[in-house]
Amino acid sequence: MVVTRPGTESGSDVDILDRLDGVKRTGKDRWIARCPSHKDRSPSLSVCALADGRILIHCFAGCPAMDVLEAIGLTMSDLFPKPLGNHFRPIRSRIPAADALATLDHESLVVTVIGADFLKQKQIDEPTWARLAQATNRINKTRAICAPPLVKR
């Protein structure tokens, strides 16, 4: 089973559901499956395909999204319609507003996901802290390009 993202080419489909066990459809663009990141006897991983092409995953037992993805050989960028690398151009060049928004959208979701785990006092491992630092760095760079400070320091 493949999550078909609305409004994208079929080539950009991610076979996230193929990589999960015990997948059951629970509604339009929604599934539940056994979480690959913990010993999951009754399915506790929610998978949801959003209209804008993003895929949301959530383990109700509390596994961080990155751990769930790692367990099935995927990364955060696989949850988004465009590869992460396409969003970035060299700093100081003007970037299309759509790319800037996509970057801010993606990186703020990364911050939100990690932040939510942190607030739930989940263990945050070293690669996740590094990814958080990368996300804040990318947000700052994008903001510096799109909304330069009025007063230079």
Q: Would you count residue 100 as binding Zn ion (CB under 5 A)?
A: no
Taking the least distance from each CB to Zn ion, the nearer of 17 and 145 is 17
Considering only the stretches 34-42, 77-85, 132-140, 143-151, report the one whose residues sit in contact with Zn ion under the rule CB under 5 A: 34-42
Q: Would you count residue 128 as binding Zn ion (CB under 5 A)?
A: no
Report the nearest approach of Zn ion to the CB of residue 90 (Å). 39
Q: Would you count residue 57 as binding Zn ion (CB under 5 A)?
A: no
Report the nearest approach of Zn ion to the CB of residue 81 (Å). 25
Taking the least distance from each CB to Zn ion, the nearer of 63 and 132 is 63
Chain Cα centroid distance, residue 91: 23
Strands (E), 28-126: 30-34, 45-49, 55-59
Q: How far apart are CA 43 and CA 77, in angstroms?
A: 24
Paired sense of beta strands 21-27 and 30-34, if any: antiparallel
Q: Would you count residue 38 as binding Zn ion (CB under 5 A)?
A: yes
Q: Would you count residue 63 as binding Zn ion (CB under 5 A)?
A: yes
Q: Would you count residue 113 as binding Zn ion (CB under 5 A)?
A: no
Q: Would you count residue 61 as binding Zn ion (CB under 5 A)?
A: yes
- How many helices (H) does the chain have, and how many strands (E)? 3, 4
Q: How far apart are CA 75 and CA 55, in angstroms?
A: 12
The dihedral region occupied by 146, where left means phi > 0, alpha psi between -120 and 50, and beta the remainder, is alpha
Comparing CA positions, the residue from 54, 4, 45, 6 lying closest to residue 26 is 45
- Over its C-alpha atoms, the chain yields an Rg (Å, rounded) of 17
Considering only the stretches 3-11, 21-29, 55-63, 121-129, report the one whose residues sit in contact with Zn ion under the rule CB under 5 A: 55-63
Considering only the stretches 56-64, 92-100, 102-110, 126-134, report the one whose residues sit in contact with Zn ion under the rule CB under 5 A: 56-64
**Residues engaged in binding Zn ion (CB under 5 A):** 35, 37-38, 59, 61, 63
